[in-house]
Amino acid sequence: MNGNDAFADDLAFLRTQGEVIVLSNAPGAKVAIMPALQGRVMTSTTGGGDSFGWINRPYFDEAKAGKTNPHISPFGGEDRFWLGPEGGQFSIFFKKGDPFDYEHWTTPAFLDTQPFDVVTTSGHAAAFERTAKFENHSGTPFHLRINRTIELLPLETAMQVLNIDLPPSVKGVALESHNGVTNLGDQWTKKGGLLSIWVLSMLNASPETTVVIPVVPGDEAKRGKRVNDDYFGAIPHNRLRTVGDTVFFKADAKSRGKLGISPARTKPLIGSYDAGKNVLTLCAFTFHKDVRDYVNSAWKQQSDPFSGDVINSYNDGPPPTGGPQMGNFYEIETSSAARELGMGQTIQHSHRIIHLTGERAKLDEISKGVLGVGLDDIAKAFR
């Protein structure tokens, strides 16, 4: 390792695995992208030696030795492109006629192991493209083109969009993926099944990391639950708390769990705070509050396949059936709405991640201004 430079060490490792595109801007922020892994952002840095994306080094070695996982290739990555739904009658992860169980769950190769073509690169952005043909669980065929651009944003610009002036004592890195899916085939209909763009940020977990999600207030009888925690069974109260209209989720990679936020409860903001390293992470994404059709990824035949969530957060942990844990990471995930598309029409979704470090008092002001809660509230949520 280069001193305490975790990013330099990660970058050196990634370059032993294949082509890496590095975006950079002053005063040292960088982003590392692998075209061979669907134009995936593997990690980023503020320039201070930190490295935020979770990278599954053992799996890279296993894959190189031919010991691949038949269900998913968990390479990691701070911004990776997927499509939904994962489960249900319109799933693209289960073949027609297969039951909804882990044995038959398979990530489509074009989302997992196959490369995206590099279209353009510059010092601050890189664009990728891929076409694919496949069928969903109901047998509906899809032919589409994926366009994806990763942009390293000036930090001041990223913060101004959040109505925050950046204090000189705070540094950071801001990256955004712009994702588009264009229908190249027959009309997409609700009857045959629709797709959504799904972006997942796999980040390094720590014992002192907490995910923070502000939600839209309102009576649950009218707006529904503030948080959906029944993906893998109810999350214990010592790991998931709702205080007023703020959801806190422990992100320590010690207990497997996943939550979701419905369209009626979504504000297009998520955050996390690592109290040990004093890192505040913010996620902003495109969201249309009047749209309610989001694909449902539950692993079962569904009565309402368009009642899915907009936001998800996942904390890794030991599998309930035993065996090795995937890794020391948590996820912040966002999805686009589902739309019926004619040939040549496109759905789009942007996902922005900002990591901030520096003077704690200033980070506290930013947290209160963006997330509505201070750092002490976050740090003490599970104490």
Please state, for a pLDDT cut of 90, what percent of the chain lies above it. 92
pLDDT band for position 20 (cuts 50, 70, 90): very high
In the predicted model, is pLDDT for residue 213 greater than 70? yes
Quote the DSSP letter at residue 236.
Answer: P
Q: How open is the CA angle 124-112-190, to the nearest 5 degrees? A: 100
**Residue recorded with tokens 């969903």:** 136
Over the stretch 91-146, which tens digit does the pLDDT of each residue have? Answer: 999 999 999 998 999 999 999 999 999 999 999 999 999 999 999 999 999 999 99
Number of neighbouring beta carbons within 10 Å of residue 311: 28
Give me the amino acid identity at 342: G
126-to-31, 35, 310 alpha-carbon distances in Å:
11, 10, 26
Residues 258-273: what's their mean pLDDT?
A: 97
* pLDDT attached to residue 64: 86
Please state, for a pLDDT cut of 70, what percent of the chain lies above it. 99
* pLDDT attached to residue 2: 46
pLDDT band for position 26 (cuts 50, 70, 90): confident
* pLDDT attached to residue 324: 83
Give the residue among 77, 65, 76, 377 at the shortest CA–CA distance from 248: 377
* pLDDT attached to residue 14: 98
pLDDT band for position 201 (cuts 50, 70, 90): very high
Over the stretch 317-346, which tens digit does the pLDDT of each residue have? Answer: 998 778 888 999 999 999 999 999 999 999
CATH code reported for the domain at 6-379: 2.70.98.10
* pLDDT attached to residue 57: 96
> Does residue 316 contact residue 203 with C-beta atoms inside 8 Å?
no
* pLDDT attached to residue 320: 79
* pLDDT attached to residue 230: 83
Q: Taking the mean position of all CA atoms in its chain, how far away is CA 305?
A: 21
Q: How far, in Å, CA of 368 to CA of 378, rounded?
A: 11
Q: Taking the mean position of all CA atoms in its chain, how far away is CA 24?
A: 22
**Residue recorded with tokens 């930190």:** 50
In the predicted model, is pLDDT for residue 1 greater than 80? no
* pLDDT attached to residue 68: 85
Q: What is the mean pLDDT of the chain?
A: 96
The pair of three-digit structure tokens given for residue 277, joined into one six-digit string: 């390293």
Q: How open is the CA angle 151-75-88, to the nearest 5 degrees? A: 90
In the predicted model, is pLDDT for residue 27 greater than 60? yes
Q: Taking the mean position of all CA atoms in its chain, how far away is CA 165?
A: 26
Over the stretch 214-231, which tens digit does the pLDDT of each residue have? Answer: 999 999 999 999 999 988
pLDDT band for position 3 (cuts 50, 70, 90): low
Residues 363-376: what's their mean pLDDT?
A: 98
Give me the amino acid identity at 230: D
Q: DSSP characters for 280-334? A: EEEEEE---TT---B----SS--S-TTB--SEEEEE----TT-S----SEEEEEE
* pLDDT attached to residue 190: 97
* pLDDT attached to residue 66: 87
Cis-peptide into 320, omega within 30 deg: no
